[in-house]
Amino acid sequence: MGRSPPSSQDGLTKGAWTAIEDKILRDYIKVHGEGKWSNVAKKTGLKRCGKSCRLRWMNYLRPDIKRGNISHDEEELIIRLHKLLGNR
């Protein structure tokens, strides 16, 4: 009756990522690039589903993600765009 959710499959790790898993994922993406996330999980030996690998990369590990406080100019830009576009 369809596929079972990845979290219910035996052998998959749930919860917080370790520094070793992060390094494995970063190294794999440096060599092979992004995409084919289900293959990433299989080829690296990570016991994570492809979706988990993709979300970890997109939300935490990408080098171009900016972390920290926003500048005054960025805040003004956000306010100006919100006034112009609203809550889209």
Q: What's the CATH architecture for 12-85? A: Orthogonal Bundle (1.10)
* pLDDT value of residue 6: 53
pLDDT tens for the chain, 88 residues long, are 566 565 555 678 888 999 999 999 999 999 998 888 888 888 998 989 999 999 999 999 998 888 889 899 999 999 999 999 998 7
Alpha-carbon Rg for the chain in angstroms: 18
Query: What pLDDT is recorded for position 9?
Result: 56
The structural domains of the chain, with segments of one domain joined by +, span: 12-85
CB neighbour list of residue 13: distance below 8 Å, 6 or more residues apart: 46, 47, 48
